[in-house]
Structure 1
Amino acid sequence: MELSIVLGFLVAVFLVSIVPGPDMLFIVANAAVGGRRAGVVAAAGMSTGLAVHTVAAALGLGALIQAAPQVLNGVRIAGAAFLLYLAYLTWRASRQEVGSVEPDVELPRRTLRRTYLLATLTNLANPKVILFFLAFVPQFLSTGAGSWPVTVQLLVLGAIFIAVGFPVDASAGLLAGSLTSKFLGAGGKVRRRLERVSAGVFAALAARLATDVR
């Protein structure tokens, strides 16, 4: 691969990464509820999803998606339902008094492992990520004599995308988590309000995903 192409891709990826989008909103929402570590773990989950998209593109699965666009509709609906589920869980948690346990309600623990899995699945379930990856990355492929195989180029570009995007997303998670930690000293009411804001973010992302028809 030519150095100029790689440098151009680095600049483009950085500009794309710093623009707030659904992934960053998801990371910030998790950081608002779980703190800095949850924000970083959510960013890692998003990067894992991008790694899967990279491998899928390298294996030629993009051709399957283009040949069967209804697949994206299924993914879009599943992603919206998944985000609504997260909104419900977060809202339900916000209704529980700090330090109290309702006998008839068993809330799932917000572990870091759970946060990571939810972030990964959210990224994978967003068809916009698939379409963006398939439209954006191929623009930086080389096809001339002596060029690397397309599969290798896609894997390298995907790795660069993750290497640039993860620090940006993780920084957003750390910042949101740090701000949240300062506010939590005011008591449980603040935490419940943050959880409700996070639930609203998840619901808004679900609505956007469900109504975004190409």
Structure 2
Amino acid sequence: MDIFSLAGLAAAMVVLALTPGPGVLATVATALSHGFRGTLSLIAGLVTGDICYLLFAVFGLSMVAEALGECFILIKLCAGAYLAYLGIRLLATRPDENARDSAPSTRRSYTSGLFITLANPKVILFYCGFLPAFMDLSALTPTGIGLTTLTVATVVASVLCGYALLASRARQAMTGRHAVSAVQKTAGGLMLAAGFKLATDVITE
């Protein structure tokens, strides 16, 4: 695998990662409500989901990945409901310091990120449809697979961390009670939007 293929893959991944979707909305909402560090386990779960679909595509299991996409309707609904629940809880919580600093467990946040990516039709389409047409996955050597996986993980994590950093900076800049309340309501609204996005994807399939 040459440097030009990796550069093309990285560029395609930047576009995919930058496109607003449930993962981006959840990342921004979590950063607004819990700060940058509170997003790391969520981002790790989101990246793991991308790697899972990449490996499905690399090892010729795209049919399995597509079947999983169809079978994950329940997971999509559960993930959407969970994000909506978090959004409602943020909207209903009083804007005090305890509310701002309390964060979901690392395991729960990681699992949420993983399920959000696995249930995202955009991700399934990219890895099982676009990527095999973009590059010859069957010709990848073990080193090529490792470099491809590293490229995907690095780009997705970097873009999501960028979103999280910007959102956390906005959170830090707002210290007054009314400002904190506005940030909290924004985070709650984004969580609701992410849950609605997942549910809409299920309905429109």
Same fold (TM over 0.5): yes
Contact 1:14 1:165 in 2 (8 A): yes
1:186 equivalenced with 2:176 (yes/no): yes
Instruction: Give the Cα–Cα distance (whole angstroms) in 2 for the partners of residues 163 and 143 of structure 1.
Output: 19
**Correspondence for 2:62:** 62
In structure 2, stretches of 5+ residues that fail to align are: none
Secondary structure of the residue that 2:72 maps to in structure 1? Answer: helix
Distance (whole Å) between structure 1 residues aligned to residue 172 and residue 94 of structure 2: 18
Pick the structure with greater CA Rg. 1
- The alignment-based identity, stated in percent, is 26
* CA RMSD of superposed structures (Å): 3.1
TM-score by length of 1: 0.75
Report the counterpart of residue 111 of structure 2 in structure 1.
Answer: 117
| Rounded Cα–Cα distance in structure 2 between residues aligned with 1:90 and 1:47 | 22
Letter in 1 for 2:161: A
Check whether the contact 2:22–2:195 (CA below 8 A) recurs between aligned residues.
Answer: no
Runs of 4+ in 1 over 4 A off after TM superposition: 98-101, 151-155
Residues 31-60 of structure 1: per-residue CA shift (max 9 Å, x gap): 011111123443232112212222333343
2:140 partner letter: W
Q: Distance in 1 between matches of 2:182 and 2:152?
A: 34
Structure with the higher fraction of residues in helix conformation: 2
List gaps (5 residues or longer) in structure 1.
Answer: 102-107
Judged with a 3 Å threshold, the aligned counterparts in structure 2 of structure 1 residues 62 and 16 are, in CA distance, closer, same or farther, namely same
User: Are the equivalent residues in 1 in contact too, given 2:91–2:184 (CA < 8 A)?
Assistant: yes
Aligned to 1:11: 11
Report SS of the residue matched to 1:177: helix
C-alpha contact (below 8 Å) 2:87/2:189 kept by paired residues: no
Which amino acid is 2:116 matched to? T
Residues 93, 4 of structure 1: CA spacing in aligned structure 2 closer, same or farther, 3 A cutoff? closer
Contact 1:42 1:119 (C-alpha < 8 Å) held by counterparts: yes
Determine if contact 1:76/1:125 at 8 Å carries over to the other structure.
Answer: yes
Q: d(CA) in 2 for partners of 1:154 and 1:131?
A: 20
